[in-house]
């Protein structure tokens, strides 16, 4: 659901976009930290926010880290 948001921020499209790992953090909603394979040996780490159900808002890409590798630890950021 956030693929188009990261593509817009990076200014490119990803043929491959596969989540391989994730962690969650409960706040006033939920932060999802997701490691995504975007082709070749390239990965991005995403921080996606899901608001509380009664707010009825879509998932939003809060921030991201590019130029990651398969072995980079997925940490809170």
pLDDT in tens, 17-52: 999 999 998 988 999 999 999 999 999 999 999 999
pLDDT class of 64 with cuts at 50, 70, 90:
very high
In a domain, 52, yes or no: yes
Distance between CA atoms of residues 67 and 60, nearest Å? 21
User: Which of 41, 51, 6 is CA-nearest to residue 20?
Assistant: 41
pLDDT class of 4 with cuts at 50, 70, 90:
very high
In a domain, 74, yes or no: no
In a domain, 77, yes or no: no
Query: Does residue 1 carry a pLDDT above 90?
Result: no
Distance between CA atoms of residues 68 and 38, nearest Å? 10
* 63 DSSP β-pair partners: 47
Domain that holds residue 58: 1-69
Number of domains in the chain: 1
* Alpha-carbon distances, residue 46 vs 9, 54, 67 (angstroms): 12, 24, 12
In a domain, 22, yes or no: yes
Query: Does residue 58 carry a pLDDT above 90?
Result: no
Neighbours of 63 (CB within 10 A): 13
In a domain, 76, yes or no: no
């Amino acid at each position: 659901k956030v693929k188009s948001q990261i593509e817009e921020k990076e200014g490119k499209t990803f043929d491959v976009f596969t989540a391989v790992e994730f962690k969650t953090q409960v706040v006033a909603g939920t932060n999802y930290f997701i490691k995504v394979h975007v082709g070749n040996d390239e990965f991005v780490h995403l921080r996606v926010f899901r608001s509380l159900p009664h707010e009825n808002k879509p998932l939003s890409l809060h921030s991201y880290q590019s130029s990651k590798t398969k072995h980079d630890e997925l940490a809170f950021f």
